[in-house]
Amino acid sequence: MARSDRRQAMAVAPQPEASECGIEVLQAGGNAVDAAIAMAFVQGVVDPLMCGIAGFGSMAVWRASDGAHEYIDFHAPAPAAATPDMWEALIEGEARDGYGFTLRGRVNDIGYQSICVPASLRAYATAHERHGRLPWAELLEHAIAWARCGWVVRPHVHGWWSMPAEMGRVANFERIAFCGAGRALYCRGDGSPKQVGDRVVNPDLATTLGTIAREGADSFYTGDIARAIAADMTACGALLSAEDLASYRPRILPPLETRYRGYRVTTNQPPGGGLMLAEMLNILEHFDLKGMGHNSAEYIRVVCEAMKQATIDKDAHIGDPAFVDVPVASLLSDDHARQSAERIRRGEKADVPRFSAAGPSRDTTQICVTDRDGNCVSMTHSLGMPSGVVTPGLGFMYNGCMGVFDPRPGHAGSIAPGKARFSSVCPSIIFHGDRPKLAIGAPGATQIAMGVLQATLNVLDFGASMSDAVSLPRFSATSNLIDVTNRIPQSVTRELEAQGYGIVRSPHSYGIAWVHGIHLEDGVLQGGADPATDGMALSC
């Protein structure tokens, strides 16, 4: 759903409950950061496999009063007990899209050993301390009410819970049924996922959030909640410890920047996906994309080759900068972009190596907010591939971020204690002059940067409205195959097949990430929520 308005505040999210919460917080005098935090808490209640207080993510904050711009990056690190070679002997394969490895016993994908250090709650608190206006407790009121009184399963939630296994990953219905607490919350009596219209009431989460509202985030990291978490982790053989919780802090970083068609593009630093987005834009600036025609065979070929190059570079080089020397300057250099563009012009096909060739995971969600003062926030946060673990009495699910680490030692994405794995999340703000033009981001695992890229091109190269930008058919290449949604015409994909490209056609009309954004220009706000979700844009 889209919204265009001359009023000066807007909230966009994949969940209507979150969008409504954001607007109510803005109307109560909160700023964009307050609204984003409150929305994030609500999302963790009403979309519990997508995100939550035990997840991770990245938040872009731009302050209108002085142009200050920073990222609060909260990528969940591996617990201190993790070691580089602990799962090397268990490898069965790598997902075709590059999003994780399949191991014997699925220990990295579901259950207690899949859990990295929960990062989201500490980041929400940090954002509030640095930028918030309303009292902390007020930002949890909407989420507590939804948890205590209940919410109704929406079509998108049910569709996600019911999805079968893809590329060797655990099916989502297995995740919600993994433990007794999860089954009690999200399954019917016969063990099947709750259906559209069924109600979910979570009094345990309401109590947990109430404690956090009164005592702050420390209650989760060093207080009574932390002790309950640590006891459960120890009893069930998890890697996560009380010391991991107590020591966690998010990183405050400047944006990574590039320029595209005269616009200043700001996005997040590694191990986030912003470097991939910036690299692709640098390559594509060498082409007349508009002249090719939107989603023509040549357009898709050129953009997919840029995607493949960025994927190759990601696999080889992009990891946690505290552990890996990421060659940011080289990957964003004019020479690198020009050489990549020349290879594409010659018709060369980049080769994306995979340990094995096995569709995408999207256990992530997005928030875009702008307030009456002009402040902007774009936040992408997630559980990764959810662990399925819900500690009895606490009511929230933990991330499953260990699943995307490379279990082979010596790689950019290899496991190490305290290391954060690569994530494609790339919440971004794009400027025209010194003012934001576009706040954008998406869920979608390895497809996030690809979806954000296409929606950005739709606005900047093709002049699309925000609604059209997030709705137009998308495609992706994170392997040697090209994935397309079902609204890409067969006649177009036949041209690509004639050039030797393998095509994987989705039965879905929408997909390749779920992009959400706000377009700001000449006092007019345009909001776009990806039609593949239940979300909406609201303004006040």
Assigned token pair, 311: 């994927």
Q: Which of 439, 428, 375, 523 is CA-nearest to residue 12?
A: 439
Residue 517 bridge partners (DSSP) = 440, 528
Q: What is the DSSP letter of 187?
A: B
| 523 CB burial (10 A radius; 0-12, 13-18, 19+) | exposed
| 67 CB burial (10 A radius; 0-12, 13-18, 19+) | exposed
DSSP of 279-327: HHHHHHTTS-HHHH-TT-HHHHHHHHHHHHHHHHHHHHH-S-TTTS---
First and final C-alpha spacing in the chain: 16
* Identified catalytic residue from 126, 208, 266, 364: 364
One-letter amino acid for residue 275 of the chain: L
CA 235 to chain centre: 31
Which H or E run includes 481? strand 481-484
Residue 364 is among the residues annotated as catalytic for this protein: yes
CA 495 to chain centre: 32
What 3-state class would DSSP assign to 245?
A: helix
Residue-wise over 117-155: b if at least 16 C-beta within 10 A, else e? bbbbbbbbbbbbeebbbbebebbbbbbbbbbbebbebbe
**C-alpha–C-alpha distance, residues 501 and 303, integer Å:** 13
Known catalytic residues? 364
